[in-house]
Structure 1
Amino acid sequence: MIKKGMTRQIVLHYFIVVFLTILLVELVFLFAIRTYYYDGISNYLQSSFDNTRAPANYRDIVSSYSLDKAEVQVLDLKGNVLQNSTAFIVDKPVQTGDIPQALSGSTGRWIGKQAGTGEDVMAVTRMIKINGDKEYLVRYVTSLELVNQKLFYITMVSAGIGVIILIVVLMVSIGLANSIVKPINNIIGVSTLMAKGDFNVRIKGNYPHEIGELAATLNYMADEIVRSNQIKDDFISSISHELRTPLTGIKGWSETLVSGGFDPEETKLGMSIISKETERLIGLVEEMLDFSKLQQNQMKLVIGQVNLKEILQETMLNVWAKAEQKQIKLVLEPGDASYIVQADGNRLKQVFLNLVDNAIKFSPNESTIKLVIKELAPERVRIVVKDSGIGISTEFLEKVKDRFFQVNPNQGGTGLGLAITQQIVQLHKGEMHIESELDHGTSVMVDLPLLEKKPATPDLTKEAN
């Protein structure tokens, strides 16, 4: 007995489908065989009418229509038997279905049980005329016992073949079900271990079709979870270091200043360091809060009309001091028009601040960073931040926008900057692309829907040094 489960369902479904198919085929086959045999007998009896000469008188009817293995009866139009080729006496009028058919002018056929004996017989009847006016019914009656025995034998043989086919189908369906269920049971077992937190297990075996895809997907999921956990661990380690550094500076200078005995310059320096580290700490916390809001779809945008040129000019002014420390030149190429987009100005500025800040961070001293605005399509505008810095290898190019990912964790940061940037761009129905070549610089392209294009205004701040 097959236990409850998918195996039983598969076997049962296959078995029912094949059983119904075999039953239908056998019924059609047996009906066709029966029809073939009965029609053959009927045609043989009817051909005797066509091949027999009309008798000269009433007494010659039986002898004229005599036929081996068939009884010949001569009936009047009321069904009374007038002559019979056998000694069997019929004392009642014949009222079977072939009589009305013969009286209507066609050849009548009837299959049933012979009255008195209960034997299966076939009767074929036709009307004839003697001397052109006298009408009689000539009726052939033949036994169907031998034919029915042969049909019964054929039925038993076909039923036996059907049973054998069903047994084979049952065995094949069990094997097929096992070939499906065993991999699924294996997948369930491995999935259970994964659900308990063991992500080092993998589904082994090359399974075909959808089951193979399912196994590969689960293995990929486990790999991604392991990778995400590793990234999370690295992030926790990194953020702990990032938080500890400013806190250590704040604590150290606070304790130092509390002890007293410093001149105004030293006190000013200590307070400046405390202020700088506090801003750094606030930046880290805000970055994590932004990421949390984005992950929970809780970031609210204050949408309005934003001039891209003005946003980029403000961005350049905000990072000017940092660029000046490395003698990096910031160049704005605003194009031949003012481009207006529907956006949250502060969040859009956050995007470009992060991109330009990264460009400065990874660019060599005395290099140039370009900010380019150009129309991409009639309803699309592209902002490009291009540097000539260290670039990103192909291996890491697709991963740099992943959360917590850092090409070089030793350089500090949370690994959330580009992930947040990309999600803010997506909230504005835009796209962000990165093109980079190792040691030859990086270009970050932000595509946004264009609301309006205005004629260019005088450029007051094209370069910031």
Structure 2
Amino acid sequence: MIKKGMRRQIVLHYILVVFLALLLVEVIFLIVIRTYYYDSIYTRITTQLNQAEYFYRVTSRDSPISLQELLRSFELKDTELQVLTLKGDMITSSTGFQPDRTITTSDVPEAVGGGIGRWVGRQPGTNENVMAVSKVLQIHGRDSYVLRYVTSVEGVNADLFNVTLISVSVGIAVLAVVAAFSFGLANSIIKPLNNITAVSAQMAKGKFNARIKGDYLYEIGELASTLNYLAEEIVRSNQIKDDFISSISHELRTPLTSIKGWSETLISGGYDPEETKLGMSIISKESDRLIGLVEEILDFSKLHQNEMKLSIGIVGVKELLQEIILNLWAKAEKKSIRLVLEAEEGIYVRGDANRLKQVFLNLTDNAVKFSHEGSVIMLSARRADEEKAEIVVQDSGIGISQDHLNRVKDRFFQVDSLNGGTGLGLAISQQLVELHGGTMEIESELGKGTRVTVYLQLAEPSPEVETMGQESLPMPEENHDREEGNT
């Protein structure tokens, strides 16, 4: 007995389907064979009856001699020919016996009614299976006698029984083959599933280095590949999580150490106002840094849980990029990096100004962070087509290798962990751009620089926005000469 499970279900379903199909085919086959044999006998007798009727009608003789001649002339082998009255009483028979009895089978009334009567059943007295076919003989246009053939169908039934045995044997053989085939098919499905289940159980216990081995086909192969990929992603995510925890711990420890050190120093007292001012400045700066880290993590959490709310409005792209340059100008000056803006006039997009500023501030800050001293960072904006604006942040810095380029948008991933950060900046920027219905593309070549392109939907500005857009933000004086002709 097969234990409960998919193997049992597959085998039983296959056998049941094939059994029902075979049963239907065999029943139809046997009915057709039986009908063919019986109809052959009926046709042969009917032909003989028609010939006898024609002969008797042509001779036009109504005497016992004519009936005997009819019996001799149209007798069939292994078949009894009887002449009956219209009431079914037997007059004479080809066997020579004239039993004093009345034939009551259904073929006689059918013949008297004007057709050819047919009856199949057991012969009274002998209990033998027979077929009786009857027809009325007419003399001078009136019914006179009933001519009745009676033949045994025992031989036919024996042949049909043998055919039935053969067909049942063939059906059993087919079922045996199907059962063997279904066992093989079930095993080809169940064994891989058992293997996958065993490996999945190991993964559920935390053994993510376990892998499903075997070259499986079709859906099972896809399932195995998916689980292996899932395990790889979990291992990678765990590694990224560990790296993130290590990185964020370092990022938090550094400002906290500075805050604690200067706090203790200032508490001890005895410092002049300049040193006290310096200490308070460092504490404020490091506090802002901590707030930025916490806000970045909170933003990522909101995006991950689809809880980020946007305040949608009309945003002027040129004015937005000018704000970015103003915010990062001092940081760029420390590395003698030029921030160059090339933006077409009158480009407006629909979005949250603060969140879009966060996106481009992050992209430009990364460009400053990974650019060489004395290099140039280009911020540009133009209409890509009638529906989209193309905004580009391009640097000529250290660039990103192709291996890292495919993962640079992943959360917690850092190309260079020594430069600090949580590894969430690009992941957050990507999701914010997508929330605005846009796309972000990154192109980079190691040692030659990086180009980040953001596509956003264009919007028609209101008159108030156009008026405000004409009042451009002032550029820093020290950088203004460098930007002249580029903005």
Give the TM bin, normalised by the shorter chain: over 0.9
Distance in structure 1 (CA, Å) of the matches to 2:229 and 2:142: 97
Aligned pairs, number: 464
1:38 maps to which residue? Answer: 38
Q: Which residue of 2 aligns with 1:12?
A: 12
Displacement, 1:89? 4.3
Relative distance call for 1:71 and 1:390 in structure 2 (3 A) is same
- Alignment match, 2:72: 63
Alignment of 1:123-272 (within 5 A): 123-130=132-139, 133=142, 135-272=144-281
> Which deviates the most, 299-308 or 98-107?
98-107
> d(CA) in 2 for partners of 1:462 and 1:144?
116
Aligned position for 1:441: 449
Does residue 452 of structure 1 match 2:460? Answer: yes
1:417 to 404, 420, 425: 425
Q: What is the CA deviation profile of residues 351-408 of structure 1, one whole-angstrom value per residue up to 9, with x for unaligned ones?
A: 1111111111111222222222222333332222122222222212121111001112
1:407 aligns with 2:415: yes
Gaps spanning 5+ residues in structure 1: where?
none
Structure 2 SS opposite 1:452? coil
Secondary structure in 2 matching 1:337: coil
Question: Could you say what secondary structure the match of 2:347 adopts?
Answer: strand
Show the counterpart of 1:304.
Answer: 313
**Segment of structure 1 superposing worse, 21-30 or 302-311:** 302-311
The answer to whether the 8 A contact 1:331-1:463 is kept is no
- The answer to whether residue 370 in structure 2 is matched with residue 372 in structure 1 is no
1:133, distance to aligned residue in structure 2 (A): 5.0
- Is 1:111 aligned to residue 112 of structure 2? no
Q: Which residue of 1 aligns with 2:482?
A: none
Which whole-Å CA distance do the structure 1 matches of 2:222 and 2:358 have between them?
A: 41
Partner of 2:22: 22
Q: Provide the TM-score with structure 1 as the length reference.
A: 0.93
Instruction: Provide the secondary structure at the position in 2 that maps to 1:385.
Output: strand
Shift of 1:162: 1.1
Task: Confirm whether residue 48 of structure 1 aligns to residue 45 of structure 2.
Answer: no
Q: Is the 8 A contact 1:332 1:462 kept in 2?
A: no
Q: Which amino acid aligns with 1:22?
A: L
Q: CA deviation at 1:113?
A: 1.8
Specify the alignment match of 2:303 in structure 1: 294
- After superposition, the Cα gap between the structure-2 partners of 1:70 and 1:325, relative to the gap in structure 1 and judged at 3 Å, is same
**Following TM superposition, by how much is the alpha carbon of 1:51 offset from its aligned partner in structure 2, in angstroms?**
5.0
Q: Conserved in 2, the CA contact under 8 Å of 1:331 and 1:462? A: no
| Secondary structure at 2:2 match in 1 | coil
* Compared CA separation, residues 117 and 332, structure 1 to 2 (3 A): same
Other-structure match for 1:278: 287
Change (3 A) 1:367 1:116: same
SS of equivalent to 1:374: strand
- Residue type of the alignment partner of 2:257: T
Aligned equivalents of 1:106 and 1:212: distance in 2?
A: 70
How much does 1:98 deviate?
Answer: 2.8
Q: Percent identity?
A: 60
Residue 82 of structure 2: which of 68, 73, 81 is its match? 73
Contact kept in structure 2, 1:330 and 1:463, CA below 8 Å: no
Structure-2 residue corresponding to 1:387: 395
* Letter in structure 2 aligned against 1:114: Q
Q: Deviations over 1:114-143 (max 9, x none)?
A: 233322111122233346656322111100
- Aligned residue identity for 1:351: V
Q: CA 1:376 to 1:90, structure 2 compared with 1: closer, same or farther past 3 Å?
A: farther
| 2:318–2:345 contact (8 Å) kept in structure 1 | no
| Correspondence for 1:2 | 2
2:127 is paired with a residue whose SS is coil
CA distance in 2, matches of 1:458, 1:300: 29
Alpha-carbon offset, residue 90 of structure 1: 4.7
Deviations 1:328-351 (A, max 9, x none): 22222221423141x222111111
Per-residue deviation, 1:108: 2.9
Match of 1:360 in 2: 368
Amino acid paired to 2:41 = I
Q: Would you say the 8 A contact 1:368–1:388 is kept in 2?
A: yes
Give the Å deviation of 1:172. 1.8
1:98 is matched with: 107
Q: CA deviation at 1:459?
A: 7.5
Is the deviation greater in 74-83 or in 316-325? Answer: 74-83
Q: 1:88 to 1:346 in 2, by over 3 A?
A: farther
Q: Distance in 2 between matches of 1:20 and 1:180?
A: 24
* Partner Cα separation in structure 2 for residue 356 and residue 411 of structure 1: 15
Find 1:349's aligned residue among 342, 351, 357. Answer: 357
